[in-house]
Amino acid sequence: MIVVTGAAGMIGSNLVRKLNDEGYKDIVVVDEFSREEKNRNLDNKQLAARVDRMRFFEWLDENHKFVQFIFHMGARSATTGYPKSVYDELNLNYSKTVWKKCVAYGIPLVYASSAATYGLGEKGYNDDHTVVGDLHPLNLYGESKNDFDKWALQQEQQPFFWAGLKFFNVYGPNEYHKGRMASVILHTFNQIKDTGGMKLFKSHHPDYKDGEQTRDFVYVKDLSKIMFFLMHHRKNSGIYNVGTGKGRTFLDLATNTFKAMGKEPNITFIPTPEDIRDKYQYFTEANMSKLHKIGYDEPFYSLEAGIDDYVKNYLMNNAVY
């Protein structure tokens, strides 16, 4: 059996689809399962069992002999709105227990970290283990992810194979449930559909013009391919960036969303909300050399190709993947 935690979320459900497509049907999905709009991400997928996240460790104690791999994608992913205790419980301490169970039962592990750990990028965007302790995330979510990365690197007892993946700005199907935390592409699509235009955040940084804030946008289907590769690779344990390696502007993103919808661009700018203005990343770009060095050589979706696939095959039809 293969276990996927956070399986009803965007990344988890895309991974389940990838596993199904590759012939893996004996998949145990772990999540909270209380939100119907999120649960539909698991519709039409072949699963062995659904396990509530609060029962997972009890279930694993009873069934570990049958588990071949764990993908730990579950987390409190909202960057605001929760006290530190919630992030400590769900992102840090829960992940520590997953790790310890993998050590005890000899199970390989891939877990979700985040590019939010890099903060403003003062130390660059290099997935070198030596910089992890010097990073300064901008919010409690990023702190919780970095705290676990630091903890993992300090452990003498480790799963025989493990990988922590620093996901950059992920977009793609199965994010309808994410509300404010959904990708800018989904927000752009909805605004264009409702109003005919798109309002992007103004720049409050002298080095960036409005709309030229730059992020490494990575299509969720590429994440699934990387995780599938690591499931078979099972060596070179460590922390890895997962982006495209090429930053693109929000203007690029919005313009290509209009194009995929067959509409002329109509873009205006509004002030960045004050609650995130001082903690806003103006530039991210993953250094992907480490992953490539261990043998991953699949091409990534370009922003143009990813948006075209996402808009035409999913958003236009309100479809899940």
Spans of the chain below 50 pLDDT: none
- What is the identity of the amino acid at 88? D
Tell me whether residue 23 is in a domain. yes
Tell me whether residue 305 is in a domain. no
pLDDT for res 86: 86
Q: Please state whether the predicted TM-score (pTM) of the whole model is above 0.75.
A: yes
What is the tens place of the pLDDT at every residue in 222-263?
999 999 999 999 999 999 999 999 999 999 999 999 999 999
Tell me whether residue 180 is in a domain. no
pLDDT for res 280: 84
Count of domains for the chain: 1
Tell me whether residue 26 is in a domain. yes
Tell me whether residue 55 is in a domain. yes
Tell me whether residue 121 is in a domain. yes
What percent of the chain is predicted at pLDDT more than 70? 99
Range(s) of the domain holding residue 103: 2-171+217-245+285-300
pLDDT for res 80: 67
What is the tens place of the pLDDT at every residue in 28-68?
999 999 989 999 999 999 999 999 999 999 999 999 999 99
pLDDT for res 87: 87
Which residue numbers are catalytic? Answer: 141, 178
Tell me whether residue 167 is in a domain. yes
What is the tens place of the pLDDT at every residue in 118-129?
999 999 999 999
CATH of the domain at 56: 3.40.50.720
Tell me whether residue 72 is in a domain. yes
